[in-house]
Each structure stands twice: as structure tokens, then as C-alpha cells.
Structure 1
Amino acid sequence: MFAIAALGFLVLATLSITASFLLTCHAWEHRRFTRGGFAIDRQARFVGRVGVIVPCKDIDLKLKENLRCLFDQTYDNYEIYFVVERVQDPAWHIIRKLIDSENHVTAHLIVAGQSFEQGQKIHNLLCGYRSLAPDIQTIVFADCDVAPDRDWISRLTAPLQLVNVHAVSSYRWFSPQTNSFANFLLSSINFSAMGLICSRRAPVIWGGSWAISRTVFRGAEIPLRWEGLLSDDLYATARINQLRLNTYFQPRCIVRSPIDYSFSNMWEFLRRQCFMGRRYLPQRWIAGLAYTSLSMAAFWGGLLGGTSLAIAGRPQEGFAGIAVAAMLWALNVIRARLQHQAAKLYMQNEYKNQQLARWFDFCCYPLSLTTLWWALLSVAFTRCISWRGIVYHLDRSGTVLRVERDNVPRNVEGPMLNSSSSNPSPSIVPEPEIPQLKLHIEEVQDNEPDVLITPSKRRAA
């Protein structure tokens, strides 16, 4: 019996160490690609007028400072579309004051009204999209909890000039504002995910910082297919992959996102991210759950089982189990080291202020692994999730079935558009007619009546 158990553990350990080694190789490639990306400084020239859509709800940490960064961009041909759910939203007053004071940039404040058939964020994004001025050629999406650099728009849109790039995305760097366990834990998990999400060959679009041309966005039918869904970015990723379009990860546009979570809020946020992956990118969720399950079995089995065997008088077998756990930890340290070398380029001066967070990455691998595994597992059979006080019930395909709100009066008024004095506009601008795309990109599944985007050979950007 012991021999069978030992053989089973050997198989688990081999699989886990192999997977961890491959992830470490991926981290090395990510660092190499990041260094190469910073060696090339592209500036946007031919993307036309840019419309930045920013959905807002409640007052996030440093909201005013984050939004002010959007008014201070070096790109000189853009306008901003802030979208809130209702006038009573606390963010409305802050945005209104910013628009009045920062009148050198055309900015609009849209009241979208409540959504009862899809995610509120998607509802806000669609209202912002339908409000775009006719001369907008490129759409940039941003979250209100990030603080982009002054050249963010220029560098995010620059790769769209390349022939084989259809969308550009970056990612967030969590910056803990207080030295708390919850902040460090979330920052560590997010940092580990960055190396996988921000892949050179198969990046995942992150909704807080991405750009796409208006013709590609409409030709891919993303606005139409967003209706009734909850996740904007993961569905956009799935749709772009389905059409075999190319997404470019822009390492120069990683944005800082200040965080200060309690443990319960951190756990709610982490579960929501896992839930979105479970519903809209199930293959990646399965891969994440499989990897963390293997690592949990090998690490804790090796550490606890090996210690027990050593105490029970089997030191050779016990030390072998402990060695497996130590090897997994060592690979994680190497991986974290490679990722932090890339982060020095992302954050530059800000990186120096994250000394404790770096040590947490190196020293608390068991805690990060266990928390991520439990978060992935906890959403396996869940079909509802809470997001900013709204509970969404979904079916298997990710379509919203029911929306429940906490003590908020029903309000379907909207959308309404308030504009800055630099470009007054009393109502939503009707969407202009845009020619259907003929990019020659084929569908992976040929089950749709009309394909607006049809085929070309996919090549990594």
C-alpha cells in the first residue's frame, strides 16, 4: 500500500514540477518580451481621433487623482466619455467638477440608467460607445481605478498601426496603499497572473486598459454580442480569438492601480475574477484549477507527508517529500524574481516603494497558492456573483438571467449626456454608418449566418 501511495505521489510531483518549470520558462519569456517592448518606442500617428470610454461607479480609492490623469495625456486628438449609472452616484459630482476645471480636453458625462438585462458595466460601456462622436476612429477603454502615465493613449494605440494588430491591451499593477495582509495577498496573486494573462502569443484583453479601432470593434459585432452578458473584457477576448484576430500586449502601458482592501473585500474581488473566467474563458479556468490542484497536492503532500514520515522513522522518504515542496517553492521564487525584473520597467520609481510586497511574493508562496486554488474551486458550481452591490444570476453560457439590487430604487431614466463647455452637446450622438469589415479572418466555428470579418492566417504580433 505504501509503495502504491509513493508511486502516486511521484507522478503528482513530476507533473507539478514540470508544470511549474514551464511557467518559469514562460516568466523568462515574458521578461524578455517586456525588455524588447521597452526598447521600441512607437508613437501613435495614424489612428485618428480617439474616444476614451470610462465607466464609473461609487468612489474608488484616489478616484479624483486617477481621472485627472486622463486629462493630462500627451496625445492631442482625443475626448473622454465618463459613464455613470445615475446622477445620485457619488462619482458623478467628482467627474462633473473635473470636467468643469479641466476644460482643455473635451469630456462628456453620460448617465446610463440602470440595467436589468446585463452587467451594469457593459450597459455603461454600450451607452458610451453609442455616444461617440462621428469622427472618432479609435476606441480606448479605461477603468476608473487606474492611474495611467501621460503617454498612455499614445503608446496604447500605436500598435494599431501595424498591419496584423487588431486590438491592444495592457494590464494593472496593484499598488498596496497600506501594509496589510489582504493587500499583499491580492497583489501577489495578481502579479503571478500577469505573467500568464500578458502573454506575447495569446494575451487576454483586460478591460481597464485596451484599444481597438472603431471599424474592427463594430465589424467583430462586439457591441451586439455584449448585450445580456456580464464580462466585457473576457468576452471580447473570446470573440477576438474566435475570429482569429490578433491582440497585442503593450508592456509600456501597464497602469498602476492603488488598492486598500479588507480581507472580505479582497476575497469577493478574487472570486469575481475567477467566476468571470469560469463563465467566459472556461478552458483557461480549467487549466488554472488543474495547475493549482496539482501544486497543492504536491506541495502540501510533500511538506506534511514528508514531515510525518520523517517523524515516523522513514527519513529517506520523508526528506524526498520535503524536497519536492522545496523545489516547487524555489521555482516560484525564480519565477517571482523574473517577474519583478520586468516590473522594474513597468513601474520604475513606483517599484522601489513596494519592498514589503516583493518579500511577500518570495516568502508566502504557500498562502498565495492555497488562496488562489480555493477561489478557483469555489466558483466551480456557482451561477451568481455580487459586484458592487448588485447580484447577477447567469446561465451556463454567461448570459445574465436576473439582476438583484440592494435597496436601490428602480430607475430606468437614461441615457443622458452632459458635455464639457469645449464641445456642448445636448443628447447622445447617433452612431455613424461604418462600412462592414472585410479583414479576411475566418470563424473558428462556422455557425453564424453572416460573417462580417472573414479570414486571414493568424500570426502573433
Structure 2
Amino acid sequence: MAYATRALVIHPLVRIVLVPATLLALQSLCSLLDGRRFLRRVRRSLGQPPGSYQPRAAVIVPCKGLHPGFEGNISAFLTQRYSDHRLIFVVASEDDPAYRYLKERLKASSARGPALKTALVVAGRSETRGEKVNNLLAGIAAVEPQTEVLVFADADATPGESWLKSLAAPLEDERVTVSTGFRWYLPGESFASQLRAAWDASIATMLGEHDHNFAWGGSMAIRAADFKRLRVAERYWASTVSDDYALTRAVREAGGRIRFEPRCLVKSREDSGLGEFLHWANRQIIITRVYSPRLWWKALGFYLFYGATFLVGLGSLVLSRRLTGEWLATAGLLLAILALGIAKGRLRATVAREMFPEECFTLKQYGARYWQLAPLVPWVMLLNFVVSAFARRIEWRGVRYELHSADEVRVVRN
């Protein structure tokens, strides 16, 4: 009898971890179901033709430097299938290598015919806001009065030929204030590139058919009248480094709606080293902390909960000396959490293949990294959130900023 009693004795941590592990497994299951809904949304969007709504649009593209793929991305902007639009490229200085390239490229495009309207704007520098936002404001100042829709894009992403048409189409519905896509990183040869793709895809799949969407500055559109009505330029972009978080805030405070359009996912490549990736990822979360503190606190709580559950759970399994039902349940729950995360990673790989069939060779080689690296993503996120808790300085494209609040930024070094 005494032997049987001793056989049932397990480390108390095993019992303690059962409840949080169960909650985390349920959350992982809900996350997987969200991933399935995201994939269905993508398939439904791809199965329909782009909308016919094509108001007069101005596409503002801030540029800096000649990064890999820049020339191809500019070509993609110049070959959009859209009836009436004007492309406005903006640089901070004529000394920027992008300025000379764009000047020659736009000159060559205009020589082929007047159908495509373009402009190249030099914004100068600002001490009170981010260089990208300053470029956007300079681009807006160059917009023609008859423009109905303002479109914002990043020069380091490659839009599809129907991207502009797909981004403008949701704005036909007056209930939609902003239409948005998101970046989708393709994994490259390096481990850091593959980890970046898995890390960022976990954010992309948060978007969907719900009221919690956020705008992404590299692929977003708003009616010019709404941009003016919300006083985005004067109130939200006057002193910020984050164009998209600021626009999201403006829309939410006005009770507006942000519509995610899967066709406006734009592929990106970045074959950087691990240190550069971590610097980039930390910057994303530092910006989130300053411009969306409620989201930051919720996410920090989740990743702390995730990390603590796994560490305590694994520790309890190692310290326990008996193989009991509770031990097996704990081990099973931890494995289920990992398996559900991997399954969602597989859904992301499927999204990439169906969204970008022209990248079949790359995705055949490295597409599996979306799910193979999925178990590592929460730990990288936890690191990013811990770092962001103690940092308010970021460096973005060679410029260092100190973020005091959502409405105050100081340029430390240009």
C-alpha cells in the first residue's frame, strides 16, 4: 500500500502546469482555426475578379536607396492595370541614389507615351517626424485636386499587376474607411531570411474579416475626402514615425472600418543576417509599444504566459520521477501546442504558394520553413517584447529616432 502511494507521488509542478497548458492548447487550436479562415479568405478573394471601381488615384511611394529588387519593384508600380492614376515617388534628398535612378526611369517611361502620369518629389528632412512620414506628406502636397483616392506603398515590396485595382475596390463601400494589404516575406537561402518569413507571416495571418484589422503602410488606400476629414496629416502624421499605426488610430477614433484585401498582399525579400533580422524585429515591437500600447501589453502577456508554461512544464516533466496520467497529460498538451503551431505554419506555406504561384521554385525549396520554424517564432517574439520593454530608440534606414510618445518623436541623427 505504501509502495502504491509512493508511485502516485509526482512533482507538484506537474499539477500546477496542467491548467495553463490546457488553456494554451485551446488558444493554439483557436489560432489554427483562424489560420484556416485566413486561407479560405485568400482563396475566395483569388477566385473573384478584382472590382470594377477605379476612381482617380494617387499612388505615393517613398523611396530611399537602391536596395536589392528596387528596379523590379518600380517596374511593378509602373505597369499597374488601372485606368486613371498618378504615381508619385518621393525621396528625402537629391543625393539619394534612388533619386537619379528614378529620374532616368521616369524620363524613359514618359518618352514611351503620356498615358502614365508620374512625378518625382524631393521632400527634404524633418526634425519632428520620421523620414518616411515626411516623404508621404510631401507626396500628398503634390496630389492633384481631382484625386479621389490616396494610395500608399513601400518601394521594397513587389505589387502584382492588379494590386492597385484590388486595393481601391473596397472603397466603393462607403462603410470602409481604409483598404489594406500586408507584406509577405519569401524565405531565402539564409536562416535569418527564413526566420523572418516565418516570424512576419504570424502577424500577417492576424488580418481577416473582423473589426480588429490594422492598416499596413506598404499597401493601404483611403479616400482623399476621408483623409482630409480625419485630419490625418495635421493631427496624426505631424510628429510620428509610424504612418500605419497613426492612420489605424485615426480610423478607430472616428469609428471607421479597415478592410483587409488578400489580393493586396505584396511579396518581399530580405536576405539579411541574424543580427540585422533581430534589429528589424525589435524595431517593429518597439514601435508597437509606443503607438499601440494596449496591443503591446496583451501580446507581452501572451508570450510571457507561453514561455512560462513551456519552461515550467518541461521542468516539471524532468523533475518528476514517476510516469503518471498527469505526467502524460502535461507532455501531451505541450506536444499538442507545438503540433498546432506547426499546422498553422503549414497553412501559411499554402497561402504563400497560392498567392504567389510565380514563386513556385523558391517556395518548393524553402516554403517548408514557414512551418519548420514555427516553434521558434514565439521565443523570438518573447525576446523582441522583452527588449522593447526597455528601449525607446530605433534606427530606420540610417536615421535614429527617440520615441517619446505616439505624438512626439525626436530625430537623434540624420
Provide TM-score, normalisation by structure 1: 0.82
The correspondence of residues 265-280 of structure 1 with structure 2, limited to 5 A, is 265-280=276-291
Specify the code of the residue in structure 2 equivalent to 1:395: H
Distance 2:385 2:206 in 1: 16
Specify the code of the residue in structure 1 equivalent to 2:172: Q
- 2:198·2:371 contact (CA, 8 Å) conserved in 1? no
Q: Are positions 1:30 and 2:38 aligned together? A: yes
Q: CA deviation at 1:237?
A: 0.9
Q: Are positions 1:80 and 2:87 aligned together? A: yes
Q: CA deviation at 1:356?
A: 4.4
Specify the code of the residue in structure 2 equivalent to 1:343: A
Counterpart of 1:115 in 2: which secondary structure? Answer: coil
Partner of 1:20: 28
Q: CA deviation at 1:348?
A: 2.0
Distance 1:55 1:25 in 2: 37
Distance 2:121 2:405 in 1: 32
Q: Are positions 1:7 and 2:30 aligned together? A: no
Partner of 1:52: 59
Q: CA deviation at 1:360?
A: 2.1
Shift of the 106–119 alpha-carbon distance from structure 1 to 2, 3 Å rule, reads same
Q: CA deviation at 1:319?
A: 4.0
Distance 2:374 2:160 in 1: 31
The correspondence of residues 234-273 of structure 1 with structure 2, limited to 5 A, is 234-273=245-284
Specify the code of the residue in structure 1 equivalent to 2:178: A
- 2:181·2:260 contact (CA, 8 Å) conserved in 1? yes
Q: Are positions 1:61 and 2:61 aligned together? A: no
Distance 2:370 2:328 in 1: 25
Specify the code of the residue in structure 2 equivalent to 1:183: S
Specify the code of the residue in structure 2 equivalent to 1:15: L
Q: Are positions 1:206 and 2:216 aligned together? A: yes
- 2:400·2:411 contact (CA, 8 Å) conserved in 1? yes
* Aligned residue among 183, 186, 194 for 2:196: 186
Q: CA deviation at 1:199?
A: 5.1
Q: CA deviation at 1:361?
A: 2.6
Partner of 1:342: 351
Provide Cα deviations, 1:30-83, integer angstroms capped at 9, x if missing partner. Answer: 122222222332334352x21110011122221111111111111021111111
Q: Are positions 1:70 and 2:77 aligned together? A: yes
Partner of 2:125: 114
Distance 1:51 1:33 in 2: 28
- 1:279·1:398 contact (CA, 8 Å) conserved in 2? no
Shift of the 46–389 alpha-carbon distance from structure 1 to 2, 3 Å rule, reads closer
1 or 2, which has the higher helix percentage? Answer: 2
Provide TM-score, normalisation by structure 2: 0.91
Distance 1:251 1:320 in 2: 39
Q: Are positions 1:43 and 2:51 aligned together? A: yes
- 1:301·1:321 contact (CA, 8 Å) conserved in 2? no
Distance 1:351 1:323 in 2: 36
Specify the code of the residue in structure 1 equivalent to 2:217: G
- Unaligned 5+ segments in structure 2 are 1-8
Partner of 1:397: 406
- 1:188·1:361 contact (CA, 8 Å) conserved in 2? yes
Q: Are positions 1:359 and 2:359 aligned together? A: no
The correspondence of residues 310-389 of structure 1 with structure 2, limited to 5 A, is 313-316=321-324, 318-389=327-398
Q: CA deviation at 1:318?
A: 4.7
Distance 1:6 1:318 in 2: 6
Provide Cα deviations, 1:150-170, integer angstroms capped at 9, x if missing partner. Answer: 111111101111232121000
Distance 2:406 2:169 in 1: 34
- 2:13·2:312 contact (CA, 8 Å) conserved in 1? no
- 1:9·1:298 contact (CA, 8 Å) conserved in 2? yes
Percent identity, please. Answer: 28
* Aligned residue among 150, 156, 170 for 1:145: 156
Deviates more, 1:160-169 or 1:287-296: 287-296
Partner of 1:101: 108
Shift of the 357–305 alpha-carbon distance from structure 1 to 2, 3 Å rule, reads farther
Partner of 1:157: 168
Report the number of matched residues.
Answer: 400
Partner of 2:96: 89
Shift of the 327–356 alpha-carbon distance from structure 1 to 2, 3 Å rule, reads farther
Q: Are positions 1:283 and 2:294 aligned together? A: yes
Provide Cα deviations, 1:334-378, integer angstroms capped at 9, x if missing partner. Answer: 212233333333212314522343322322333222111110221
